[in-house]
Amino acid sequence: MPRLPYLVAALLAFFTLAGVGGWLLMRPAAQPSNPPHDRVPGTNPDPNANPNTNPNGPSPPAPPADGDAGKLVVLVVFDQMRGDYLTRWADHYGPDGFARMKKDGVWFSECHIPYACTSTGPGHASLATGAPPSAHGIVENAWYDRATKAHMYCCEPKRAYPLIPEVPEKLGKPGRGAANGFSPERLLAPTVGDSLLEASKGKGRVFSLSIKDRTAVLMGGQKPTGAYCFDVRDGNFHTGAYYNRDAVHGWVAELNAGPKGGPRLADSWFNEKWDRARPDLDYAKLSGPDDVDAEAPGINGQGRTFPKLYKGKLDAPAAPYYAALEASPMGNELLFALAKKCVTAEKLGRGPAPDLLLVSFSSNDLIGHLYGPDSQEMLDVTLRADKLVGELLKFLDAEVGKDRYTLVVSADHGVCPLPELQASKDKYPAAKRTPLLDLGLELFEALDAMYGNPKNETSWFEAFDDNVWPWLYLNHKAIEARKLKVEDVATVARDWLAGRGHIETAFTRKELEDKNGPDKPFKLAAQLAYHPDRCGDVIVVPKAGVLVTQYKGGTSHGSPHAYDAHVPFLMVGAGVPALGRRAEKVSSLAVAPALARALGVPAPAKAAVLVPEALLPKK
């Protein structure tokens, strides 16, 4: 692991070079007399502490005045929304959504993720903690755990925690996540929600809602008031036994059950179809053709083109229908309905302390994986996302009060364009789709040729697959049994990988831990993604436009390239100056401190960067 002062210096150097400059620290919480709950035994107390300041930090801010006590802060995350979408289709957005946020608040148009491994788990953990994966430990959606010799899901609990309500066994195992439930126990850094609960002595409330379990869990922190996600097996929103509940909140149960004598909301689209929301627009001109060979087929037999039936050949709602629903704009509508019920039923923003609502709209990501960023489907869901933001603002105006809330919109990552498209090849000359299995087999043969393996007794890898990409986990025991050094084999693997025509660079863990090593492109991003207990021996960075995957259609993300790392960052509402567009480059790690500032609580203890100067009061 890099020495701590070096990591701090590297972070500061990055933001200085990026043009951020002039940022001021959010005030950290005063050190409690007992060890904080986020500390991990055997680690330094604060891996992101400024060595030039008092380690205890200044006193925490005073509690909000009575007039400010009821404020609501809302974080909306559009999973897989690229930063360029806000300009690309801006002429076709309405006046009440993104345009209102830009006009009445602040839009950081050059917000970028500073770490490699731009995936959903790390993205949501970083937005909530203000820390990079090197500090919060969520290095990917899953990683290889050497102790258990198995893949570890980022929200896999340390013991079984049943879902609430429980899903009948006859419906099978979950389509994503862990079969034994979920919990935030793998998250090693406190979130903004944790900071709010500590500072308000439990009077503030924290609700985290999403379609995906990992997004709700990682945003919510250790002990949110409520954390809920959707399960396609039964079409219900669930929480988990980890959260010390034996039943869901009443408003969740109400949405799951639906009205008496009528279909519940999740079933209400069964006989409908997904078609273009704006038939007045030329979708092909604004995005691309509707039928592209490189796209993946839709869910439940939908195919690649509009319109898309939700029910397929089903006679009644079942898992394939719910999967098609969540991979459409209606997944966002379903979650939006839950979020509105939460605000209304819990009277968020009207209690004795500030409240925090975290909502991650997963459907954008599910759609983007299938059809890509230049598809008509992505244009359609983004137009609908703009409308959703407008409806959310109007709802908060009426329900909470126009001057009683702050809304922040961001994303966890972007997405790679389909490499088969000519536009992709024109912009990224190296663009291609390459199977990860082929890359692994070729590297295996190269190591055999280098070291010899006449009896084929050595398994060079413990894990090198889509679940752990872009990390390569070498088989330490097998390598050492042959009297070889793991570091030497890692170096050979790095050089071989970096020598492929479609790979930009690669780093060994030794390089990432070496504070005196030479600076190289993408090295800092790789260091910020590296946690020694969870990462592999080599990290690989493909060339721009290159998609390394086992899938023959669709696309993905995970690189430090701009199309994966450039994300939106907008704020509007109480306490936010109407500054419009700000062109300075800022880090996505600034979202958490900005949320904390809006709540009037200390930034999370391991937050790595600072609140943008634009959001601080003028002297």
pLDDT tens digits, 125-170: 999 999 999 999 999 999 999 999 999 999 999 999 999 999 999 9
* pLDDT tens, position by position, 465-498: 999 999 999 999 999 999 999 999 999 999 999 9
Q: Please state which architecture CATH assigns to domain 431-543.
A: 2-Layer Sandwich (3.30)
Over residues 184-188, the mean pLDDT reads 98
Write down the pLDDT at residue 350.
Answer: 96
Does 3.40.720.10 match the CATH number of domain 66-417+564-615? yes
In whole angstroms, what is the distance from residue 517 CA to residue 513 CA?
Answer: 9
Place of tokens 């250790």: 222
Write down the pLDDT at residue 11.
Answer: 39
* pLDDT tens, position by position, 382-393: 999 999 999 999
In whole angstroms, what is the distance from residue 354 CA to residue 286 CA?
Answer: 41
Q: Are 572 and 104 in contact (CB under 8 A)?
A: yes
At 262, the amino acid letter reads G
In whole angstroms, what is the distance from residue 558 CA to residue 192 CA?
Answer: 24
Terminus-to-terminus CA distance in the chain, angstroms? 40
Q: Which residue has the higher pLDDT, 378 or 11?
A: 378
Q: What is the pTM of this model?
A: 0.90
At 418, the amino acid letter reads L
In whole angstroms, what is the distance from residue 352 CA to residue 357 CA?
Answer: 16
In whole angstroms, what is the distance from residue 270 CA to residue 263 CA?
Answer: 10
- pLDDT exceeds 50 at position 14: no
Enter the tokens of residue 215: 């997004």
Confidence of residue 2 (pLDDT cuts 50, 70, 90): very low
Over residues 350-356, the mean pLDDT reads 97
**H helix runs in 152-212, sequence order:** 192-199
* pLDDT tens, position by position, 409-430: 999 999 999 999 999 999 999 9
Range with the lowest mean pLDDT among 22-26, 437-441, 540-544? Answer: 22-26
* E strand intervals along 48-141: 72-78, 106-112
- Residue from 430, 295, 276 nearest 373 by CA: 295
Checking DSSP bridges between strand 308-309 and strand 273-274, what pairing results, if any? antiparallel
Over residues 339-350, the mean pLDDT reads 98
Confidence of residue 44 (pLDDT cuts 50, 70, 90): very low
What does residue 224 show for φ and ψ, rounded to 5 degrees? -70, 160
- pLDDT exceeds 70 at position 53: no
Enter the tokens of residue 149: 């010799």
* pLDDT tens, position by position, 100-110: 999 999 999 99
What is the biggest distance separating any 2 CA atoms in the chain, rounded to whole angstroms? 77
- pLDDT exceeds 50 at position 15: no
The CA distances from residue 215 to 178, 365, 608, in Å, are 14, 12, 21
Q: Do domains 66-417+564-615 and 431-543 have the same CATH topology?
A: no
Q: Are 551 and 419 in contact (CB under 8 A)?
A: no
Write down the pLDDT at residue 35.
Answer: 27
In whole angstroms, what is the distance from residue 374 CA to residue 422 CA?
Answer: 12
Segments making up each domain of the chain, as ranges: 66-417+564-615, 431-543
Neighbours of 30 (CB within 10 A): 11
